[in-house]
Every structure is written in C-alpha cells, then in structure tokens.
Amino acid sequence: MSDLLSQIKAARDFLRPFLKTVPKAGIILGSGLGNLASEIEDRQEIPYGQIPHFPPSTVEGHSGTLILGTLGGQYVIAMAGRYHYYEGYTMQQVTFPVRVMKALGVETLVISNAAGGMNPAFSVGDLMIITDHINLQPEHPLHGKNIPELGPRFPDMSEAYSQQLVKTAQAIADRHHIFVHKGVYVGVQGPTFETRAEYRYMHIIGGDAVGMSTVPEVIVAVHGGMKVFAMSVITDVGIVPEGQENKVSHEEVLAAAKAAEPKLTTIIRELIQQI
C-alpha cells in the first residue's frame, strides 16, 4: 500500500467513530467565511491537530477545525479553514482532506473562497458561482505516479463544476432575490496579491476572479469522482481606472467576506438541503 493510501486510511479510521452516518456533502470554508460553520447543528468539532496526517492551518481567518453535524437537514463534514500551497505545504497535503472525505463516503464537495474580481461588472461583496477554472498554480495535485484506487490517470475536467448544482444554486439565489454572477476562477500560488498587470493578464485569458485556493481541491475531487460546487465572494476589485488606487489588505478581504457571508450561507444551506 502506498504512503498516501495508508495516510488516508489512518485519517478515515480515526474519524469514522465520530460519524453518525455517511456525510451527504463535504464543505470547505474559505477566508473570512468560517462563520457558516455556526449554522451547522448538533456539531462535533475536531481540531486538525488531532487528526492523523492533517497539518495545522496557519492563516488568519482559518480556524483549523473539522466539523461534523447537520446543515439544511443533511449530515455534513466541514472544514473551517483550509490549507494553501503558499503556506509551504505540498499539493498532497493541501488536498489530503478531500481524499479523506471521499474515503468517508462523501460524493459532493461544496467550496467557498474569497477572490479578487477582474470582471468590470463585479463589485466588492458580490457573489460568483464558479463555472470553470484556469489553473496557474505551479504544482499539479496529481503530479507523480497515479494511484488507481483514488482515480484515473487522466481525469476529464470538462465539467469540473457540476452544471446541475450550478442551476440549483442559481434557482435558490433567484428565489431569495440574491444577485449572483457566474464566472471563471483563476487559481494562483500567492501569497502576494496581484499586480495591476497580472489582473489585466488573467482577465484577458478568460478569468473573472482570482484566488489562491480551490483549484487543487477541485481537481482531486473530480479525480475521485465527486461532484463539485464552488462559490467566490468578491472581496476586492483588481481592475480599476488608471490612476485610481487599488491597494488591498488581508484584513479588508476578511471584512468583505464577512459582510457577504449571510447571502452565501443561504445559498449553500439550501443547496445542501436539495442534494
């Protein structure tokens, strides 16, 4: 058995006694979006440090806790805090929790993130349903020898984000009069925020929003045969008129994410209810 399979099994076997049933969905909560976890009822919280092969989360706004409980009437497993490549973790470590979720029986992965907007129609606080992505991260999470037990050598990424879940989320947003964009997410390494030229470049190649996460987890989820839904909160706008300041700080990102969180929570809660 490979080291990765052994590690997945160790984490799975540690977590199984905590489960009340097979989780209907896995959730990854992004920067400033951890309060969605408060919506989870009858929850158990397990610090990452207690779970075999889960490294600690090091970023402000990411609490580093695995939560088991009920959301929208469905039993879920949620990550309050995620791992990033820029923290110094390998892509295997970044995506390891997704592998463990799959091993526990999760078939649907729901992801949120904070992102910089590049589409001129976007404003701070807007929500964007991700319909596709562009991977500009320097390391691929499937690099190396493929493990057939985890997925195929060449997974099809033509529908990385479930069109069915996108339609369902759009219908939920419409019903609650929540305006949402749809667009393409560009995944970059970080940890620097983008230069003006980089924002323009990524918009030219087809991106609507940019962030430092999500893409590795989505790739690994698709590799494992999971359905994926992802949504971004636009926490800053990178393309502004010449001469206008567009400086951004992590504190501003967290504040914008927190302000938009109630709308995102409504959509995700009802989406999971309908899975």
3-state DSSP call for residue 237?
strand
Work out the number of other CB atoms within 10 angstroms of the CB of residue 147: 16
Residues of 97-124 as b/e, b for ≥16 C-beta within 10 angstroms? bbbbbbbbebbbbbbbbbbbbbbeebeb
Q: Which of 115-119, 152-156, 175-179, 242-246 has the lowest mean pLDDT?
A: 242-246
- Contact indicator for 127, 169 with CB cutoff of 8 Å: no
Q: How confident is the model at residue 61 (pLDDT cuts 50, 70, 90)?
A: very low
273 Cβ partners below 8 Å, 6+ apart? 72, 73, 74
Q: Which residue has the higher pLDDT, 19 or 57?
A: 19
Q: Where are the domains of the chain?
A: 3-274
pLDDT in tens, 243-253: 555 555 667 66
- Point out the least confidently predicted range of 45-59, 173-187, 190-204: 45-59
82 pLDDT more than 90: no
The answer to whether residues 214 and 163 touch, using CB atoms and an 8 Å cutoff, is: no
* C-beta neighbour count of 194 within 10 angstroms: 21
pLDDT higher than threshold 50 for residue 183: yes
Helices and strands (H, E) in the chain, number of each type: 6, 9
Per-residue pLDDT band for 55 (boundaries 50, 70, 90) equals: confident
What does pLDDT average to over the chain? 90
119, 208 contact by CB (below 8 A): yes
Question: Mean pLDDT over residues 112-133, rounded?
Answer: 93
Is 113 a residue whose pLDDT tops 70?
yes
Rounded Cα–Cα distance for residues 204 and 262 (Å): 32
Residue 153 has pLDDT above 80, yes or no: yes
Q: Tell whether the model's pLDDT for residue 180 goes beyond 50.
A: yes
CATH number belonging to domain 3-274: 3.40.50.1580
Predicted confidence (pLDDT) per residue in 215-265, tens digit: 999 999 999 999 999 999 998 887 655 555 555 566 766 676 677 788 998
Threshold 0.75, pTM exceeds: yes
User: What is the DSSP pairing of strand 74-80 with strand 65-71?
Assistant: antiparallel
Q: Which residues pair with 188 in a beta bridge?
A: none
Res. 125 pLDDT band, cuts 50 70 90: confident
Of these ranges, 63-72, 172-181, 233-242, the one predicted with the greatest mean pLDDT is: 172-181
